[in-house]
Each structure stands twice: as structure tokens, then as C-alpha cells.
Chains A and B, each alone.
Chain A
């Protein structure tokens, strides 16, 4: 018998360790003194400080809570009323409604999400808080109905009638007779609704936009770079959820105990607890709201017509202080959204979002100009255009900088570990080193169709702007072979932390990320292959449908200024478009003195700038999906 007991304990112990170890791990590392997720370097509260001072995180908490509260409230009421109605309806109506009601529960969430997204787009609804809230109500209500229905089924159907025979109005009969009987179902429905909404990622991810993020979608965008603030945020969530659950589970226990002892808790006590709970959530919301928008907008509205500026930029591409300085100087609020590929940005634009300032790359700007989606810059408002560095001024996609003001620029090259990779191999093979099985299992490829095809085409000696079908097929085969024989990992921005940690020996990266990697890890160096590479630039543009073009011009001018440019280049590590900043940062004593990755290679004949070609784009994006699948 003892033996049996022991094995039972062992099993339970193991599973609980499995469940709670990662959560505990996260909790511990939220107090870590360094960025690392693997070695603990002393106790510190810095990540909590970072979290509370990070406006994006505070906004995300605010939106998550307010959505969950409203969605729970509405779906509980609607769900309960509907369930009561259904219980009195004809069988056929009830069956049909229940079947449809089950759809969002049985369907994979991604299908529901995609459907809602298509729905909003067809209705020309701008994605944002409202679309997210409606979606949450839509997927929460079925759960409420589902948890209330069984309670109604076990209820005597004649109760309401009896009440009404005795003179109660239907409303009174429902409120005084039916609702109290099904209360447990309503409460558990509300609880499910709240956590469904609070935890939701997939649906929110597809239906939100315009800078509105909940906690999950924020974590998703942040999870590519190691960011211990995520751990602090998670710890906070774990604590909140634990308290709520304990509360919900303990109250009935205490109630029962008290009742057994003959000292039942009056409903008043519960009322008081409920009021306190609401007050706490309410005050948290008010506090967050206060932090979310707190500038004096009147002047800005008078001058620019609006006090908000919507910016869509690459992730980790701007020093937050720069935005804060702009907001302070102009008394406006910046809604700052980020993307991690040009294609993602473009798709988002097509799904009906509007921004005031975008920061796409060269070929994407060419495409947007061709499709007449941009408006010309107001050069009278941007005197700082004269600060532009020579190498990045008037490039072929926009020869007079009519539409675009360059922001950062650079090359694409190979970051390698000097201890592990021989420079002679690189010099001899160039990009073909990605076919050298000596380094099998030790390389990262970048999840970008453009740059992967650039690498393949250059390795084969073709132009990276080729539209020759055979050359593109060759490049595809080259990539499939690389994936096949080298076993690379295909990553995006997580490559930065991974290379700093020295996880692998070689990676294809953008020069600016390389500059950052080199400055953090001395073993790493940067190589630009002799076959030529992609000389890229990202520039600020104003879309046609911008709501606040005047302020957008002001913002562009502000970012091109010495001070903002310096801050950004130091923060991000990419080559500035401001000549003075570029010189100062790369000259002796500058931050990037001796860093091979910082200064772009200018004037090398084999380097090219991407051009836009719709047919080629389609071919390579199909090919690239297939390369990734082939892995």
C-alpha cells in the first residue's frame, strides 16, 4: 500500500514541477541584475522600473483590462438574457442558435480571427480598440450562454409563470426568480469570459491595430529580443490571476464553513467585497489612463488640426526619448507602431490602416510611389534635409527626395565569430560560405525573402534585381541546397541576442544590427562579400491618407536634426542619414570608431539598390515560403 502511495506522490510531484518550474524561473529572472535569461547576476528591480516607465506596456495593461471588463460585462448580460430566452423558445430555434453559438468554440481560433478580420475590412472599419472589443464580446458570449444553459435546464420551467400568476411583471419574474436560481452559472460564465478576454492573443492579433495593443500582442512583438521586462509583466499577471482565482475558490469554502458553524456571512459582506474589487480595478484603470495621455493638446490642435501623430516604424529602430522629446516640444501624442518587414507594413496599409509617417525601405518606397500612395514632402517645413549624408541623398528610387527623407542606411553582410570562422574562407567563398559544410549547424539565415534571394543571386554572380525566371529558379535551388546541407536556423531579430551570446558562428545580418553585435561581443566581426551586396536605405514618407500631414513634416524634420539623429544612431547602431552625426560617430573617439559594420560601403560597383518589380516579388515570396517549408 505504501508503495502505491509513493508512486502517486511521485507522479503528482513531477507534474507540478513541470507546470510550475517555468513560471518560477520567469519569476526569479524578473529580478535579475542583467539582461541575461540564463545567468542570475544579483537582485534588482530595474526591469520593474523599466516596465512601469514604459508607456507601451502601461497602455497594453490598460487596454487589456478595459477590454476584459467591458467584454465580460456585456457578454454576461447578453449571454444570460439570451439563454433565458432560448430556454423558452421553440426547440428548433434553440437547436439552431446553439449550433451556431458553438462555432466560435469548436472552430480553431485562427479561423474565427481571420473571419472577423475579413469582416471588418469589408465593412471598412478601422482596426483599433472598438474592433478588438467587439471581437472579444463575440467570442466571450458563447461561453456565457454555454455555462448558463445547463442551470436553466435543471430549473422548474413553471417558476416564472408562477411568479407572473402571482402578479410579477416579466422583468421582475426574471430578475427576482430566475436569475438568483442560475447565479452560479452566470458567475462561472463571467469568470470564463474575463479570462478568455484577458488572455486572448490570436483573435486580438488579427483584429487590432492603429497602436492599440493588449498584453499578448505586445509580448508577441517584444519576444524577438530578450527583454526581461516581459518577465516582470508576466510575474505581475501571474500574481493577479492567482489572487483572483484564490479569491473565487476560497470565498465559497469560507461561506460553507461559516454556514456550518451557524454564522453565515450576510450578502452585505459580499456586496462590500465586490464594490472594493470594482473600485480597485477602476482606480488602476484611471491611474493607467492618466499616464496614457497627459499632454496639453489645445495649441497643437489649433496649429496642426489634431494632437496625435501616428508613426509606423521598424521594431527597435528609435530611441524612445526622441519621441518623448517631440511630444513635449509640440504638445502632441505619438501613436507608435512597429513592424518587422516591409511586406507586413504594406499588407497592414492595404487592410485600411492610416498612418502619418512610415519608414519603409528603398524598393517599397519605389512601389508606394508607383502606386501613388505617397504625398510629396513639404520641403519648406524640413530644412534639415540639407543635413543628409552624401551616400544616401537622392538615391535612384527617389532622385530628388520628393517623397522620402532617409532615416537609416547600410549594407547586408555576414557577422562571424573570429575564433571559429577563418577569414580566408570568407574571402574565398563570399556568400557561398553558406554552402560550406564545415560550418553546418552553426549558421543563422535571415527570414527575409528579399535578402535571402539577394544572397543567393549574388553568390551565383547574378544581379540581385534580375527578373530572369531561370536565374530566380537557380537562386531558389541555391537556397534549398543551403537549407538542406547546412541545417541553418531561420530567424529574424532574435539573431541579434543570439550572436551576442555567441550561440552560432555565422549569420546574415543588416549592418546596423552587426554594429551592435560587434560592440557587445569582441569575438565577432563583419564581412561584406566581394560579390557585392544590398546597399539599402530606410526613409520616412508620408502616405496620401495621412490624417495629420503637417505634423508629419514637422516630425520628419525633428528626426533629421543633429540631436535626434545622434540619439537614435547611438541607441540603435545603424548608420545615420545625418552627415555630421555619421562622421562624428565613426571618427576617432566616436562610439563606432573601429567598428567595421557601422559605415556603409559607398561607391562599390557590385553593390546594388533594390528595385521594385511586382512579378519578381510574387515569384520570390512563393519561393521563400517553400524554402522555409523545405527546412
Chain B
């Protein structure tokens, strides 16, 4: 079977060049001073010190965690009933509903988020409707609310699909058995349905939390230029400030935070569907 084994060699080379080396470069930049000359490397911890000793940068980290936590909780609370309702539908309807939930995911995130701007703007649709009913216009765009809304809108399909697939996998005879044994609806849900759907919830949480904590597109479009989440700080450092070393350090910090949270959820989850499910693993 040597012939087949050799097939992996080209990709291994490619993978080292395009995946491993870029990651190492981030680490290298994070621990060095200005300039990317290999000749004059100067190791330093300053980039990390700068981040962790400055309350303002810690504030962006806190904001990112807070916003993505709220987003995740909302996605579970809204996503679960929806997934439950889809799982209850007849197989034909179920397929259609899943297609309808999936469809927006295939449309560009930027485009989808842009659509909300006209709706939320100060003189946008919602404020027009409020004015029509004689209510005070409220500021919606460029607030925490708008950012959370944008994130829930973009990421909730992941949650719904994950929970739905674990609900659909569930063995229905368990419910029947419980019914025969006299359990009421609430008991059946609490003792059977919910525990069995938990793996879906957990991987849904990862799939929502991960992109929201690192997002910079949604905060910038929905939160305005002054809305700084950690992704925005990275973007800022690389694109306009030009401090690549500091930017690399923050990227590293973010990657580590995410690895840790992944590890924790994986321990809770045990299954490894998560990886496969991220974006569109549900095509078939």
C-alpha cells in the first residue's frame, strides 16, 4: 500500500508551508521587537506586557467575552425551541425547514449584516415605524444591541442545526417507553430529550462563541468605528497602525483563549462532531 501512502506527501509539504509556518510567524512576531529582519531579531515580552498592563486593552477583551457570551446564551434560548419545532415536523417538512435555515448561511456575512443597517439606522425603518405610532425614536444602530443582533443573526443557524441533528438522532422509542411508564410531558423532556440533545447544544455553543469572540466585521458595521472588540484591535494594529508585533501578540492571546475554551467544551462534549459541523458540514 506504499503507493497510496505517498499520496499524502505533497499535501504535507503544502500544509507545512501554508499552515504551520504562518502560525510560527505569528509567534515569532509576538515575541520580537519592531522589524521583521531575521538578522536582527530581538526577543521581548513587551508586546504581552503592553496588553496585560493596560486596562483599556483588557477592556476590549472583556467586551468581546461579554458580547459573545450574551450572543451564545441568546442563541441557545432562541435556537433550542426552533430546533425542537423542526425536529417535530414531518420528514418532508423537516428537510425544507433545514434548507430554509441553511440558506442564509451561504450568503456572504458582510452582505447579510449590511442589510440590517438600513433597518436600524437613526432614520431607518424601525424608527419610522416608531414615529408612525407617535413613539420616541431610539438609537439602535451603533449600540451593544445592534452588535448582539448582528451576531445572533449571523450565527444562530449553527446552533439550530446542531441541536436539531442531535434531536433527530434521538431514539424515539425511549419516549414511548417513558410514556408507558407514566412519565408526563415535562418529565420526558427533562429526563430524556434534553440530556440526549446536550451534545448538540455544546457543539452549537462552540460554533457560536468561536466566531463571535473573534469577529471584527460585525462590531465595525453594527457598532461603528468606535466599537472596539478584540478582533478590531487586531485589525487596527495590522491594517492602519502598522504595529505587526503587537498585533501578533494579541492574535496569539486570542488563539490561546479559544483553544482553552475549545478544550473545555470538548471535555464536556466528548464527541468530535464540532469540527466537521463548522460551516456547512450539514450539506448532505
- Using Cβ atoms and an 8 Å threshold, which residues of chain A touch B221? 223
Q: Do A38 and B123 touch across chains, with their CB atoms under 8 A apart?
A: yes
| Chain B contact residues, majority secondary structure | helix
Taking CB atoms and an 8 Å cut-off, the chain B residues in 111-149 that contact chain A are: 111-112, 114-119, 121-125, 128, 139, 142
Judged by a CB distance under 8 angstroms, whether A8 is at the interface is yes
Q: Do A234 and B115 touch across chains, with their CB atoms under 8 A apart?
A: yes
Q: Complex formed: what's the CA distance from A504 to B54 in Å? A: 33
Q: Complex formed: what's the CA distance from A114 to B280 in Å? A: 24
- Interface size for A (C-beta < 8 A) is 115
Q: Least Cβ distance of A352 to chain B in Å?
A: 11
Q: Complex formed: what's the CA distance from A503 to B18 in Å? A: 46
Q: Complex formed: what's the CA distance from A106 to B217 in Å? A: 18
Judged by a CB distance under 8 angstroms, whether A272 is at the interface is no
| Chain A contact residues, majority secondary structure | helix
- Contacts A117-B238, A237-B111 given: A245-B103 contact, CB under 8 Å? yes
Q: Do B103 and A138 touch across chains, with their CB atoms under 8 A apart?
A: no
- Using Cβ atoms and an 8 Å threshold, which residues of chain B touch A174? 4
Q: Complex formed: what's the CA distance from A161 to B1 in Å? A: 8
Q: Do B225 and A491 touch across chains, with their CB atoms under 8 A apart?
A: yes
- Contacts A22-B119, A81-B7, A114-B247 given: A107-B255 contact, CB under 8 Å? yes
Judged by a CB distance under 8 angstroms, whether B178 is at the interface is no
Q: Complex formed: what's the CA distance from A21 to B278 in Å? A: 25
Judged by a CB distance under 8 angstroms, whether B248 is at the interface is yes
Judged by a CB distance under 8 angstroms, whether A599 is at the interface is no
- Using Cβ atoms and an 8 Å threshold, which residues of chain B touch A373? none
Contact with A along B65-89 (1 / 0, CB 8 A): 0000000000000100110011011
Q: Complex formed: what's the CA distance from A576 to B213 in Å? A: 45
Q: Residue A97 contacts which of B10, B15, B284 (CB distance < 8 angstroms)?
A: B15
Q: Least Cβ distance of B277 to chain A in Å?
A: 10
Q: Least Cβ distance of B169 to chain A in Å?
A: 15
- Contacts A38-B118, A219-B110 given: A82-B8 contact, CB under 8 Å? yes
Q: Least Cβ distance of A95 to chain B in Å?
A: 12
Q: Do B248 and A114 touch across chains, with their CB atoms under 8 A apart?
A: yes
Q: Residue A25 contacts which of B10, B23, B119 (CB distance < 8 angstroms)?
A: B119
Question: Can you name the residue of chain B whose Cβ is closest to the Cβ of A64?
Answer: B108
Question: Can you name the residue of chain B whose Cβ is closest to the Cβ of A622?
Answer: B241
Judged by a CB distance under 8 angstroms, whether B155 is at the interface is no
Q: Residue B29 contacts which of A118, A206, A447 (CB distance < 8 angstroms)?
A: A118
Judged by a CB distance under 8 angstroms, whether A262 is at the interface is no
Judged by a CB distance under 8 angstroms, whether B109 is at the interface is yes
Q: Complex formed: what's the CA distance from A38 to B122 in Å? A: 10
- Using Cβ atoms and an 8 Å threshold, which residues of chain A touch B95? 249
Q: Complex formed: what's the CA distance from A631 to B106 in Å? A: 34
Q: Complex formed: what's the CA distance from A150 to B275 in Å? A: 12
Contact with B along A84-103 (1 / 0, CB 8 A): 11111100010001001111
Taking CB atoms and an 8 Å cut-off, the chain A residues in 281-307 that contact chain B are: none
Q: Least Cβ distance of A68 to chain B in Å?
A: 12
- Using Cβ atoms and an 8 Å threshold, which residues of chain B touch A347? 238-242
Q: Complex formed: what's the CA distance from A100 to B95 in Å? A: 34
Judged by a CB distance under 8 angstroms, whether B208 is at the interface is no
Q: Do A199 and B235 touch across chains, with their CB atoms under 8 A apart?
A: no
- Using Cβ atoms and an 8 Å threshold, which residues of chain A touch B124? 37-38
Q: Least Cβ distance of A498 to chain B in Å?
A: 7
- Contacts A8-B88, A23-B107, A192-B280 given: A343-B240 contact, CB under 8 Å? yes
- Using Cβ atoms and an 8 Å threshold, which residues of chain B touch A175? none
Judged by a CB distance under 8 angstroms, whether A216 is at the interface is yes
- Using Cβ atoms and an 8 Å threshold, which residues of chain A touch B114? 26, 219, 223, 230, 234
- Using Cβ atoms and an 8 Å threshold, which residues of chain B touch A519? none
Q: Complex formed: what's the CA distance from A626 to B59 in Å? A: 10
- Interface size for B (C-beta < 8 A) is 107
Q: Do A100 and B258 touch across chains, with their CB atoms under 8 A apart?
A: no
Judged by a CB distance under 8 angstroms, whether A122 is at the interface is yes
Contact with A along B6-36 (1 / 0, CB 8 A): 1111111011011111110110010000001
- Using Cβ atoms and an 8 Å threshold, which residues of chain A touch B104? 19-20, 23
Q: Do B85 and A138 touch across chains, with their CB atoms under 8 A apart?
A: no
- Contacts A191-B283, A192-B279, A489-B224 given: A503-B103 contact, CB under 8 Å? no
Q: Do B99 and A249 touch across chains, with their CB atoms under 8 A apart?
A: yes
Q: Do A241 and B254 touch across chains, with their CB atoms under 8 A apart?
A: no
- Contacts A23-B107, A114-B248 given: A37-B121 contact, CB under 8 Å? yes
Question: Can you name the residue of chain B whose Cβ is closest to the Cβ of A253?
Answer: B95
- Using Cβ atoms and an 8 Å threshold, which residues of chain A touch B109? 199, 201, 216
Q: Complex formed: what's the CA distance from A241 to B7 in Å? A: 34
Q: Least Cβ distance of A138 to chain B in Å?
A: 4
Q: Complex formed: what's the CA distance from A201 to B216 in Å? A: 11
Residue from B15, B108, B160 whose CB has the most chain A CB atoms within 10 Å: B108
Judged by a CB distance under 8 angstroms, whether B262 is at the interface is yes
Q: Complex formed: what's the CA distance from A196 to B280 in Å? A: 9
Q: Complex formed: what's the CA distance from A452 to B43 in Å? A: 34
Residue from A118, A161, A188 whose CB has the most chain B CB atoms within 10 Å: A118
Q: Complex formed: what's the CA distance from A103 to B226 in Å? A: 31
Question: Can you name the residue of chain A whose Cβ is closest to the Cβ of B117?
Answer: A37
Q: Do A109 and B214 touch across chains, with their CB atoms under 8 A apart?
A: yes
Q: Least Cβ distance of A405 to chain B in Å?
A: 26
Q: Complex formed: what's the CA distance from A628 to B223 in Å? A: 12
Question: Can you name the residue of chain A whose Cβ is closest to the Cβ of B241?
Answer: A621
- Using Cβ atoms and an 8 Å threshold, which residues of chain B touch A629? 56-57, 59-60, 228, 233
Q: Complex formed: what's the CA distance from A26 to B59 in Å? A: 35
Question: Can you name the residue of chain A whose Cβ is closest to the Cβ of B38?
Answer: A122
- Using Cβ atoms and an 8 Å threshold, which residues of chain A touch B8? 82, 85-86, 89, 93, 97
Taking CB atoms and an 8 Å cut-off, the chain A residues in 459-512 that contact chain B are: 483, 488-492, 498, 501-504
Question: Can you name the residue of chain B whose Cβ is closest to the Cβ of A161?
Answer: B1
Q: Do A219 and B111 touch across chains, with their CB atoms under 8 A apart?
A: yes
Taking CB atoms and an 8 Å cut-off, the chain A residues in 5-23 that contact chain B are: 8, 11-12, 15-16, 18-23
- Contacts A23-B115, A106-B275, A110-B231 given: A100-B20 contact, CB under 8 Å? yes
Q: Complex formed: what's the CA distance from A78 to B275 in Å? A: 20
Judged by a CB distance under 8 angstroms, whether A514 is at the interface is no
Q: Complex formed: what's the CA distance from A433 to B81 in Å? A: 51
- Contacts A78-B11, A103-B19, A111-B254 given: A199-B226 contact, CB under 8 Å? no
Taking CB atoms and an 8 Å cut-off, the chain A residues in 95-150 that contact chain B are: 97, 100-112, 114-119, 121-122, 134-135, 137-138, 141, 143, 146-147, 150
Q: Complex formed: what's the CA distance from A133 to B12 in Å? A: 19
- Using Cβ atoms and an 8 Å threshold, which residues of chain B touch A447? 225-226
Judged by a CB distance under 8 angstroms, whether B267 is at the interface is no
Q: Complex formed: what's the CA distance from A147 to B262 in Å? A: 21
- Using Cβ atoms and an 8 Å threshold, which residues of chain A touch B1? 88, 160-161
- Using Cβ atoms and an 8 Å threshold, which residues of chain B touch A102? 275
Q: Do B56 and A82 touch across chains, with their CB atoms under 8 A apart?
A: no
- Using Cβ atoms and an 8 Å threshold, which residues of chain B touch A630? 56
- Using Cβ atoms and an 8 Å threshold, which residues of chain A touch B112? 22-23
Q: Least Cβ distance of B7 to chain A in Å?
A: 3
Judged by a CB distance under 8 angstroms, whether A625 is at the interface is yes
Known: A146-B276, A219-B114, A234-B108. 6 other contacts (CB 8 A): A22-B153, A85-B11, A100-B20, A146-B275, A201-B109, A491-B224
> 11 A-B pairs, CB-CB below 8 angstroms?
A19-B104, A19-B153, A22-B112, A22-B119, A26-B111, A38-B128, A108-B210, A245-B103, A350-B242, A626-B56, A629-B233
Nearest first, the 3 closest Cβ-Cβ pairs linking A and B are A115-B22, A85-B7, A108-B214
B contact residues vs A (CB 8 Å cutoff): 1, 3-12, 14-15, 17-23, 25-26, 29, 36, 54, 56-57, 59-60, 78, 81-82, 85-86, 88-89, 95, 97, 99-104, 106-112, 114-119, 121-125, 128, 139, 142, 153, 157, 160, 210-211, 213-214, 216-217, 221, 224-228, 231, 233-236, 238-242, 244, 247-248, 251, 254-255, 258-259, 262, 275-276, 278-281, 283-284
